Amino acid sequence: MAPKREITSLEDYKRELLARSEVYRQTLALQRSELQSSFAWVPRSVGMARSVAPLLAAVVPIAGFFFARKKLVAAATVKKAPEPPSRKGILATALMGFQLYNRVRPLLTAFAQRHPERHSQNRR
């Protein structure tokens, strides 16, 4: 059997743990109530957003149409003469075409190697 001194220290330790546990429970309950009061506005806001969403879904495209018409009318009044193609634009287009060819070439060769009978029939 364990000595009496060890048993009392275990009982004291148990009481201390129970007291700490009770303090933690009360703290948790207090924090829960604070959070609950802090987020009380969320359900009302979500409900309002859900009720307004169908109206916005109908109004936004119509508003966009009117704003786009204003831009089109403003753009139609100011017409610029078309600019002639520059050498820089032609060079950039040629470089882009070359890069595209380099990316597509391995695919085309792999396809031609997989189907040699199709490739040879086209040559005849």
Q: What pLDDT score does 50 carry?
A: 87
The set of residues, in sequence order, having a beta carbon less than 8 Å from that of 119 and lying 6+ positions away, is 112
Integer-rounded Cα radius of gyration of the chain? 39
The set of residues, in sequence order, having a beta carbon less than 8 Å from that of 112 and lying 6+ positions away, is 119
**Which residue from 45, 23, 25 is spatially nearest to 33, judged by alpha carbons?**
25
Q: What is the mean pLDDT of residues 16-23?
A: 96
> Which DSSP helix (H) or strand (E) runs through 103?
helix 87-114
On the question of pLDDT at 73 being above 90, the answer is: no
Q: What pLDDT score does 77 carry?
A: 64
Query: Which whole-number Å values give the CA distances from 34 to 42, 47, 118, in the listed order?
Result: 14, 22, 75
Contact 106, 114 (CB under 8 A): no
pTM confidence score: 0.37
Domain layout of the chain by residue ranges: 1-38
Cα–Cα distance for residue pair 107/100, rounded to 1 Å: 12
Model confidence pLDDT, tens digit, residues 75-109: 656 566 666 666 677 888 888 889 988 988 888 88
Instruction: Pick the range with the lowest mean pLDDT from 59-73, 76-90, 103-117.
Output: 76-90
